[in-house]
Structure 1
Amino acid sequence: MKTLILVRHGKSSWNYDVGDRQRPLKTRGLNDTRLVARYFLRYQEMPDKIFSSPAKRAHETCKIFLKTSEKSENKVTIIDDLYDFNGRSVIGFIKNLDDDIDSVMIFGHNHAFTSISNIFGDRFIDNLPTSGLVKINFDINNWKSLEKGKTELIIVPKELR
């Protein structure tokens, strides 16, 4: 059994003269991510491995989950291929994970995460909103054989406010 948890970065700010990778979270993004992290961690544990896009907004979102779970920031691995908006690189990354890893959490971007949730999950998502989380379980032993799984959980911050 393998478990994939996708977390879309929180709402980011366009109020800074920085490149796309450097855009920080805005206050709403910080607050929504805290809500989702608290809700998730009330019922679930952080997975074996945690990966993040190098984009500041994704990494900041990841750090909120780590702080909420009282895990060290050195538990996250930054992966350039996760700075992906169509999902091909993320899917390639997932399919090449070490099979010793049973559960993984990835912090990244849309449209990639909505697309991946719909390709591999069994519940349709029109749009995974910022700070949204999807957990999908797979009845497989190795990541290379990734196929349709069962969507166990979808958390949308708007439903928690």
Structure 2
Amino acid sequence: MKTLYLVRHAKSSWETNVDDHKRSLKQRGLNDGILVSKKVADEIEPPQKIISSDATRAFSTAQFFKEALNIPESDMETNHELYDFSGQNVMRIIKSLSDNLNSVMIVGHNHALTSIVNMLGNRFIDNVPTCGFVMLQFNDKKWSNITTGVTVKTIFPRDLK
């Protein structure tokens, strides 16, 4: 069985005039990062690896989950290919994960993540909100074989406030 945790980056700030890739989190994003990551840590088995987009807002969000889930630095990485909004690169990364890994967390961007949870899950989600978490499970031994799995859990900031 393979378990995929998908997390959309928390709310980013538009206050400073920086390149999109370098946008940081706003205060709401920081608060939601703490809130959601702690709730997730109470409800799931930690992933064997976290892979995050290298965009500042995604990497900052991933750090909350790394800390809450007690993931060692060696089991966290960034991948520029996750700075993807269509989902094609994200799917390529998921399908090419090492089969030695049974659980992986991907931290990325919309519209890619909403598309992927609807393509791979069995429950329609209109929009994965900022700092939204979705857990999918697949009855497959190889990541390259996953198609439709089960949407096991969603944790969205609005449900925790």
Deviation at 1:136, TM superposition (A): 0.2
2:69 equivalent in structure 1: 69
Distance 2:18 2:69 in 1: 30
What's the TM-score, normalizing by structure 1?
0.97
Deviation at 1:96, TM superposition (A): 0.6
Identity %: 47
Distance 1:70 1:120 in 2: 27
Question: Any idea what the Cα deviations from partners look like across 1:76-133, whole Å, max 9, x if unmatched?
Answer: 1111110000100000111011111111000000000000000000110000000000
Gaps of 5+ in 1: none
2:146 equivalent in structure 1: 146
Deviation at 1:66, TM superposition (A): 1.4
Judge conservation of contact 2:50–2:66 (CA < 8 Å) in 1.
Answer: no
Structure 1 residue 91 corresponds to structure 2 residue 91: yes
SS in 2 for 1:106: strand
Judge conservation of contact 2:8–2:107 (CA < 8 Å) in 1.
Answer: yes
In structure 2, give the amino acid aligned to 1:4: L
5 Å-filtered alignment, 1:1-161, equals: 1-161=1-161
Moved more, 14-23 or 73-82: 73-82
What's the TM-score, normalizing by structure 2?
0.97
Across the aligned residues of Structure 1 and Structure 2, the Cα RMSD in angstroms comes to: 0.9
Distance 2:111 2:73 in 1: 26
In structure 2, give the amino acid aligned to 1:36: V
Moved more, 42-51 or 151-160: 42-51
In structure 1, give the amino acid aligned to 2:156: V
Distance 1:33 1:53 in 2: 16
Question: Any idea what the Cα deviations from partners look like across 1:33-70, whole Å, max 9, x if unmatched?
Answer: 11111111112122011100010000000001112233
In structure 2, give the amino acid aligned to 1:29: G
In structure 2, give the amino acid aligned to 1:59: F
Residues 144 and 71 of structure 1, relative CA distance in 2, 3 Å threshold: closer
SS in 2 for 1:50: strand
Residues 16 and 73 of structure 1, relative CA distance in 2, 3 Å threshold: farther
Judge conservation of contact 1:63–1:73 (CA < 8 Å) in 2.
Answer: no
Distance 1:71 1:121 in 2: 25
Distance 1:112 1:21 in 2: 16
Judge conservation of contact 2:54–2:78 (CA < 8 Å) in 1.
Answer: yes
Distance 2:122 2:72 in 1: 33
In structure 2, give the amino acid aligned to 1:6: L
Distance 1:157 1:43 in 2: 15
